[in-house]
Amino acid sequence: MYKNKLRTFDIVILVLGGLVLLFIISPLLSMFLATTPLQLFETSKDPEVQDSIWLTLKVSFLATLFFAIGAIPLSYFLARIDFRFKNIVNGIIDLPIVIPHSAAGIAILGFISRDSVLGKLASSVGLNFVGHPIGIALAMAFVSIPFLINAARDGFENVPVRFEKTALNLGVSPMKVFFTISLPLAWKNILSGLIMMFARGLSEFGAVIIVAYHPMVTPVLIYERFGAFGLKYARPVSVVFIIVCLVFFIFLRTLAKEKKSGNA
């Protein structure tokens, strides 16, 4: 009796899960099937497409590395220190995920425009963040950095505090404890957060298009071609970009797995 119920429950789970997977796969599969190999080949040779993909990958990668310098120590602080307004700080960190990304773009634009303090400082050295790869990087980082902070914080919380206290009692400096104990033990989560931040930056459209329509990152290029020429011309760019992203994610995940095996 119990086995029959269990089997029925398993079937229900498989059916419901299969429907969700079908919902995810079907639009992507239909897009790939509707794109011919010739279209893919011609699109992949298009200099505008190549430049946009390279710009998107480069800016998202550099933004992830740059902001990781501050995000990882902040994550460690949040994992180890309890203070009065900690929940408010955690809520602020998650805010870029919740707000509409067009609103995020408006916020970033106001922060880096020529009239802002940062914009005036940049203008004094002949730099304008609006319409510049740096502006794109800031927009990407704003909407993606919560993924890194949250993942790294979870990683540091999983590191036993007694390991750090033992090292401190033996006279090891806090900085050395962080780099030799805390960081290596939390590295799996941190690396996952870095990959997620990089991935989220690649896909950002709403915030980026407000800060910098040109130079075009690939999500903006896809939108521009759809608006100007329709689905037929936007779809091949989408497929090429998805393939490139998939290759990068497989490479990064493989690299992360190899690093984990090496540490073990």
Report residue 107 as tokens. Answer: 């916020």
Residue 4's pLDDT is what? 55
Residue 5's pLDDT is what? 57
Please tell me what DSSP assigns to residue 217: P
Which residues are CB-neighbours of 236 under 8 A, at least 6 positions away? 35, 39, 40, 42, 43
CATH number of 41-263: 1.10.3720.10
pTM: 0.88
Nearest to 147 by CA among 187, 193, 190, 98: 193
Residue 45's pLDDT is what? 94
Whether cis (ω within 30° of 0) applies to the bond prior to 215 is yes
Average pLDDT, consecutive stretches of 10 residues, N- to C-terminus, the chain (264 residues)? 65 91 92 92 94 96 96 96 92 93 94 91 90 95 96 95 93 93 94 93 94 94 94 93 89 71 56
Round to whole Å and give the CA distance between 157 and 84: 18
Residue 261's pLDDT is what? 58
Please tell me what DSSP assigns to residue 171: T
- Measured from the Cβ of residue 264, the count of other Cβ atoms closer than 10 Å reads 5
- Write the DSSP string, 38-68: HHHHHHHH-HHHHHHHHHHHHHHHHHHHHHH
Residue 259's pLDDT is what? 58
| Residue extents of the structural domains in the chain | 41-263
CB 194 within 8 A of CB 91: no
